[in-house]
Amino acid sequence: MSEDAQDVVLIVEDDESIMFVLGEYLAGLGYRVLKAINGEQAFEILASKPHLDLMVTDYRLPGGISGVQIAEPALLLRPELKVIFISGYPQEILDCNSPITRNAPILAKPFDLDTLQEHIQRLLA
């Protein structure tokens, strides 16, 4: 993180308890956290916020949209955006055959928060 600006992380997660834990943890590490509980909110944030460094997104989201379906257009608009997928069903992410999933970390729920932090630090270094 640069000293003059916080890194901005968008969390896309429909489970309120997971959203709370991730948001508090990342804010405690000094990240500026934005939150979306579904694809619609995620797209609104992606369209309206000029700067985002990282998106942590669940795969299965309400409304029939997946985290991959959010990440693909997001990366077209913001090629510098880093993505981490989280899921209780990580194989589904791999099975969708998106090129994004070949490079983005995939964390199986439940995961260790220190593991998440390690992935974030590596991606934002």
Confidence class for position 5, pLDDT limits 50, 70, 90: low
Kindly list the strands in the beta sheet with 82-87, ordered across the sheet, starting from the edge strand earlier in the chain: 32-36, 8-12, 54-58, 82-87, 106-108
Quote the pLDDT of residue 50. Answer: 80
**Structure pTM?**
0.92
Let me know: does 45 contact 15? Beta carbons within 8 Å: no
- Higher confidence at residue 9 or residue 97? 9
Q: What is the mean pLDDT of residues 78-107?
A: 93
User: Has residue 3 got a pLDDT over 50?
Assistant: no
Structure tokens at 67: 């985290």
Which domains, and CATH codes, for the chain? 8-124 (3.40.50.2300)
> What span, in angstroms and rounded, lies between the C-alpha atoms of 123 and 125?
6
Helices and strands (H, E) in the chain, number of each type: 5, 5
pLDDT in tens, 42-72: 999 999 988 999 999 999 999 889 999 999 9
Phi, psi angle pair for 71, to nearest 5°: -65, -40
Calculate the average pLDDT of the chain.
93
User: Has residue 1 got a pLDDT over 70?
Assistant: no
> What span, in angstroms and rounded, lies between the C-alpha atoms of 81 and 78?
6
> What span, in angstroms and rounded, lies between the C-alpha atoms of 19 and 95?
25
